[in-house]
Structure 1
């Protein structure tokens, strides 16, 4: 894998995202997440997966420049649907998955983290879904997972304002499990992962299966609707303006068209 480095240590598969400078989620990187899961699923020496980012960020979001390569809303919806499938596989994966978040988990980066079973964060990390700032909406099931963690009102605040939470606030809001000073994040994440790895893989899988029952059909209906809406908004002039403004590092000027 080009963008994921894998090390196995004491029953823990440590997957390091390494796509500098911001560990942006390209289509290839999302595909490698799927490949990672295939690699470790039937490896009996792996009991837990720990995902973290190399450098300054966990992942600062999707690769916006790739969006300019898509010609239609249908292609945009397909991009969203493919990402949703990988992240759904991650959330229902039979082995526990922990995200250790430092720097920033924004947009697709936060959607990746929300698909993990446990989120540990640096106190000063930034977690958010800023897609509306680009004239878009989240596309990797972010609109469906976020309310499950923080409630509809707080999810609306995060989406509408595009403002991120700190790691400490994310714990208070229910989006993350625990916050640590940044130099203590990875050691504590590894300690937790190794503690979980001592459990029976049979009962861990059973527990994950039971947690999936907390979903209901409306969730999956919402995920499908999100990918379709993702493609619809892509075709607006505001989306093109938002993407271009991001690339040009300026404030977008939306016209409602």
Structure 2
């Protein structure tokens, strides 16, 4: 059973949902695989105009389910192997959304922790509830952000804020996430705001929307491949100790 649900509505907007609410949508290796596969499938969706990422239940996501991952060491080893894209499974689950030609909007609420935060940062735009609980929590687990988060954090917040949020692993609210630049706006109903935003984008000329996203992405930053490799090296050194904690 997949815990990633995906539907496309009549306006050609895809709705992708983390669907493991009993575990606060904590990410498993299978969910990471399915996230990347869903993004690849949507790249081929004819006429697609926008994508909305959200979580079912009380949270967007509570990060990686380390306990579940620890039961599958061979799966972890396979997931760390990078592909020709320059990403491994952990990284591609988040960065694959950047590869989509259409805008991706993350509507987040409740917990936005660790890997789920990095997934949200893989979107082009983010809308959060004011009281959402954000945290770059990996250092608190004895790890580093390694799901493309290092690249996304520093480009969105600037280096000093990225370092502070990463090194302290302090929790911050959705309102603070907006102030830090990690989200574009706060709303009591982020999913409804995301639907309104997606509908507005869907009404624009699709070639212009795709072209504008591509142009902004290609000129905004440089060198993610090197960053992904550095993430992998750092995490592989730390992972064995974290599993024994």
Normalising to structure 1: TM-score of the pair?
Answer: 0.85
Structure 1 stretches of 4+ moved >4 Å: 71-76
Unaligned ranges ≥5, structure 1: 243-257
Give the distance between the partners of 1:235 and 1:50, measured in 2 at CA. Answer: 35
1:172 corresponds in structure 2 to 179
Give the distance between the partners of 1:120 and 1:154, measured in 2 at CA. Answer: 20
Give the distance between the partners of 1:98 and 1:73, measured in 2 at CA. Answer: 29
Residue 137 (str. 1) matches residue 144 (str. 2): yes
Give the distance between the partners of 1:212 and 1:13, measured in 2 at CA. Answer: 21
- Retained in 2: the 8 A contact 1:121–1:176? yes
CA displacement 1:159-214 (0-9 Å, x = unmatched) = 11111221011111111000012xx2221110001111112221222112112221
1:14 corresponds in structure 2 to 15
- Retained in 2: the 8 A contact 1:135–1:233? yes
Give the secondary structure class of the aligned counterpart of 2:139. Answer: helix
After TM superposition, the structure 1 stretch with the greater mean CA deviation from structure 2, 42-51 or 165-174, is 42-51
Normalising to structure 2: TM-score of the pair?
Answer: 0.89
Q: How many residues in Structure 1 have an aligned counterpart in Structure 2?
A: 237
2:222 corresponds in structure 1 to 216
Match of 2:207 among 190, 193, 202: 202
CA displacement 1:56-103 (0-9 Å, x = unmatched) = 110110111133232699557438822213422211210111000000
Give the distance between the partners of 2:106 and 2:76, measured in 1 at CA. Answer: 31
Residue 2 (str. 1) matches residue 2 (str. 2): yes
CA RMSD of aligned residues (A): 2.1
Give the distance between the partners of 1:209 and 1:127, measured in 2 at CA. Answer: 28
Give the distance between the partners of 2:139 and 2:78, measured in 1 at CA. Answer: 19
Residue 64 (str. 1) matches residue 80 (str. 2): no
Unaligned ranges ≥5, structure 2: none
1:251 corresponds in structure 2 to none
Residue 231 (str. 1) matches residue 236 (str. 2): yes
